[in-house]
Structure 1
Amino acid sequence: MSRAPGRRRAGTPPTPPSGTVLTAPPAAVEEPSAEPAAAGARPRRSWEDRLSRFGETRTAAVLWTLVVLVGTAALVCAMVPAGPDWLGGAGSVTVVAAYSWGLAARTGGRPVVFGVLAAVLGAAALVLDDDSLRTGAAVTTAAVAAVFGVMATVPAVTYWRAARECVLAVTISAIGALATLGFEPVVTVTRFEYATFGLALAGAFAVVYRLGAGLHGLGRRGVVIVVVGGLLLAATLLYAEMLRRYGTPELVSSLLDVVGWSRDHLGAFPRPIESVLGVPALAYGCHMRARRRQGWWICAFGAAATSAVANSLANPAITRTESALSVVYGLLVGLVIGFLVIRLDLLLTGETRGSRGRRSRAAEQASALRPEPARGRALL
């Protein structure tokens, strides 16, 4: 039975008349969206973001190293002396600006802001030529160099790599000592040393507090190590101060005889706080950082060594040759103590003697793979 014309089955669309052009309803036409284009487009970056990304490239590291070398060469020429009188001040400003840039970049700050600010303040201290401004610039330079020397280190799986990191930190601080001297500060030696040491230690612990995830990241072992380091630091400072003020003539005379013998036969006497605390703490801290993040808290005590190196040229009563030798001797003695501390730590954590000990030491070094950013990248 056929359907009558004009009728259609329910649910079917009506048949348009012949000759009609079919068009889509307005609701079916989709406007082109701008989201895919925006998603595919490259985001616009600020100039500071571009500089911070450039600061992590190899080219930036090479340029930074060249700037530091140029500043160091200017400082050496000023010490000879050779060249114009302003060469020493220009070298100091160059080094402190580069160190401020590097420290800010390493700690996740704003390297452009702090680098330019350090250069402006250093140049202002030289232009105004005021003793207090020059001295303040010298203290700041020594503190920045000391903290940067600690922060520039990387974890060390073996002792020899830890020794390499200590040499690097001392070298950075030694260049900072030249920059400190380039400002020609007018200082009281004891106050200058305490000021630079206090600022460097406070700055190192402030950064390590963030790197070590606060105090709760210490753990029981970290607390013990930090307490021992704090007691050793207090004992060293108090003993030196008590000996200076209240020491008996016989005791002072016997100690001075030892110092005099070392100066006569070796050319210098190692700085106690560098050799007893600073360098061993830095070596042991870098060694532990490859295994546990508590190693950062130990590295903070390395500021005792780097600050001692950074202010080593501030004492006019000591020749520059003797100052350099005292830094080298302190580094060597500290590395020996650091080796003993690392070996003792490995023995207490299960290291044994003989071939089995060598195999277990190799296995322990292979498992020491705690990740940490490379030397030229931000830690935070």
Structure 2
Amino acid sequence: MSRSAPRRRAERPPSRRARVAAGLRARGERFAGSRAPVVLWVLTVAAGLGALVACTADVGPAWLCDAGAVAVVTSYSWGLAARTGGRPVVVGLLALVLGVGVVVLDHEALRTGAAVLTGVVTAVLAVMATVPAVRFVHAVREVLVAVVVAAIGALAVVAFEPVATVARFEYAVLGLGLVGAFAVVYRLGAGLHGLGRRGVLTVLIGTVVLAGTLAYAELLRRYGTPTLVDNLFDGVDWSRDHFGAFPRPLETVLGVPALAWGTHMRARRRQGWWVCAFGVAATAPVATTLVNPVVSLQEAGLATAYGVVVGLVLGFVVVRLDLALTAPSGSKGSRGRRAEEATALRPEPPRTRPLL
């Protein structure tokens, strides 16, 4: 007795709900692929920056400070969520609601918390906004991009008028920024197993430099002898008198070299993301530089510029050492460097596209 062929079930047409969901997804994909979100983001940041600059120059009504701060933290939260593969609309609306609530309630604790979160978002976004750098001149460009993003965020941070000890405020933004950056890099760098031996060594060196710099500054502040402290402050005062400012050590020694080397390495190996995470040591101090009432706007700008210049020199040395140790044989000289740069084609999304 022969078996009858199985009957095929007739495919049901998609329901109205499924058709609507598919249409919304298609519209969302077209909107995400368009330039509209980027243009809207740039216009929002420009409007917030304009309001903050007017507030700094004592031009216009007093509410421009709060409006500019809310606009910048909203757009930065949106941008960080979009860059890291999150939900930018949800995060942006949440930041907007929280920012408006802080301004309306006008409480010192709320304003300080908003300033800390603004500094953290600024420091992490400044690092995530970078792209791989095939040549060192491209790494210089990426460092400047990160510093500009952090500098705009610094105006928003101080516009919230935080009330806290300067050292504690800076440590809070730096610590939370490093945690946030490493959490994102953990996903971008394929976890800890994607580090490799050189990556582990690099992270250890960066951690030692970071911990050593912070520990030395804290020990010097607490237990330093008056003679040693006076000598160090004399050098800082001399630099301020002759050059207008003194570069921030953490930014100069660790943050800027890590950004330059990390973006250069990202064009070749994904371990470069782990190096870039230490770039928060540059973007966080820039984002909190105006919190100190003793430091003027001019001095803060000069200190940042000096730190970038000296840090880029150190970064250039590190990049050259890295190429000397890791580049294939026969790549010395200008022709060899061009050949090495031609093979540095590790793919990564553009600056305005999600990394994840």
Look up the match of 1:263: 240
After TM superposition, the structure 1 = structure 2 runs for residues 216-235 of structure 1, keeping only pairs within 5 Å, are: 216-235=193-212
1:293 CA displacement: 0.4
Look up the match of 2:46: 69
Q: Is the 8 A contact 2:327 2:340 kept in 1?
A: no
Q: In structure 1, give the amino acid aligned to 2:350.
A: A
Match of 2:80 among 84, 95, 103: 103
Confirm or deny that 1:144 pairs with 2:121: yes
Q: In structure 1, give the amino acid aligned to 2:313.
A: V
Look up the match of 2:346: 370
Look up the match of 1:162: 139
CA distance in 2, matches of 1:47, 1:140: 32
What SS does the corresponding residue of 2:21 show, helix, strand or coil? coil
Match of 1:251 among 221, 225, 228: 228
1:53 CA displacement: 5.0
Identity %: 61
Match of 1:215 among 169, 192, 197: 192
Q: Is the 8 A contact 1:106 1:151 kept in 2?
A: yes
Deviation digits for residues 152-178 of structure 1 (CA, Å, limit 9, x no counterpart) = 111100001011001000100100000
Normalising by structure 2, we get a TM-score of: 0.93
Confirm or deny that 1:183 pairs with 2:160: yes
Confirm or deny that 1:129 pairs with 2:145: no
Normalising by structure 1, we get a TM-score of: 0.87
Look up the match of 1:119: 96
1:308 CA displacement: 0.5
Q: In structure 1, give the amino acid aligned to 2:352.
A: G
What SS does the corresponding residue of 1:108 show, helix, strand or coil? coil
Moved more, 50-59 or 332-341: 50-59
Confirm or deny that 1:199 pairs with 2:176: yes
CA distance in 2, matches of 1:320, 1:128: 28
Higher Cα Rg, which structure: 1
Aligned residues: 350
Look up the match of 1:13: none
Look up the match of 1:298: 275
Look up the match of 1:348: 325
Deviation digits for residues 93-121 of structure 1 (CA, Å, limit 9, x no counterpart) = 00100000000001000000100000100
- Give the gaps of 5 or more residues in structure 2: 1-6
Q: In structure 2, give the amino acid aligned to 1:254.
A: N
Q: Is the 8 A contact 1:351 1:361 kept in 2?
A: no
Look up the match of 1:359: 335
CA distance in 2, matches of 1:329, 1:312: 14
Q: Is the 8 A contact 1:71 1:95 kept in 2?
A: yes
CA distance in 1, matches of 2:8, 2:185: 55
Moved more, 59-68 or 71-80: 59-68
How large is the Cα RMSD of the aligned pairs? 2.4
Q: Is the 8 A contact 2:203 2:274 kept in 1?
A: yes
Q: Is the 8 A contact 1:92 1:182 kept in 2?
A: yes
Q: Comparing both structures, which one devotes a greater share of its residues to helix? A: 2
Q: Structure 1 residues 273 and 182, CA, compared in 2 at 3 Å: closer, same or farther? A: same
Q: Is the 8 A contact 1:281 1:338 kept in 2?
A: yes
1:352 CA displacement: 8.0
CA distance in 1, matches of 2:314, 2:333: 21
Deviation digits for residues 320-374 of structure 1 (CA, Å, limit 9, x no counterpart) = 1111111111111111111110011111224789x95211111110000111111
Q: Is the 8 A contact 1:56 1:376 kept in 2?
A: no
- Give the gaps of 5 or more residues in structure 1: 1-29
Q: Is the 8 A contact 2:51 2:67 kept in 1?
A: yes
Look up the match of 1:24: none
